[in-house]
Amino acid sequence: QLQLVESGGGLVQAGGSLRLSCVASGRAFGNYNRAWFRQAPGKERELVAAIVWSGGATAYADSVKGRFTISKDNAKNTVYLQVNSLKPEDTAVYYCAAGAGPIWSAAAYAYWGRGTQVTVSS
């Protein structure tokens, strides 16, 4: 199995920043692509950022372009999400995921972390 553990969430004021981390266990699935999703209460899960593990190409949802940055450290099996200029509407549980398919296809992600809460106050 591939186990993913997120960290770095918290309570911040509007305009603030956080750096989320997601560590994957083992090396068996080291080449799987990675992504960050978020889900707010009463709303559908949203794919916000994704990255090709081997090459580093990235993709972002329109709602976060220019504010969020996904990056990775292959040697540490870790993917990061730098979230800047946070808005109250960014409040959600943020999940990392891994999969072998196209990075901008939610169906490609078969492995999920438990999530980390990001709360942005007005």
Backbone φ and ψ of 13, nearest 5°? -80, 155
Q: What is the pLDDT of residues 62-118, one digit of tens each?
A: 999 999 999 999 989 999 999 999 999 999 999 999 999 999 999 999 999 999 999
SS3 per residue for 6-69 = EECCEEEECCCCEEEEEEECCCCCCCCEEEEEEECCCCCCEEEEEECCCCCCEEECCCCCCCEE
Confidence of residue 31 (pLDDT cuts 50, 70, 90): confident
So what's the pLDDT on residue 45? 97
Question: Strands 10-13 and 116-121, how do they pair?
Answer: parallel
Round the average pLDDT of the chain to a whole number and report it. 95
Give the distance from CA 28 to its chain's centroid.
21
Residue 2: pLDDT over 90: no
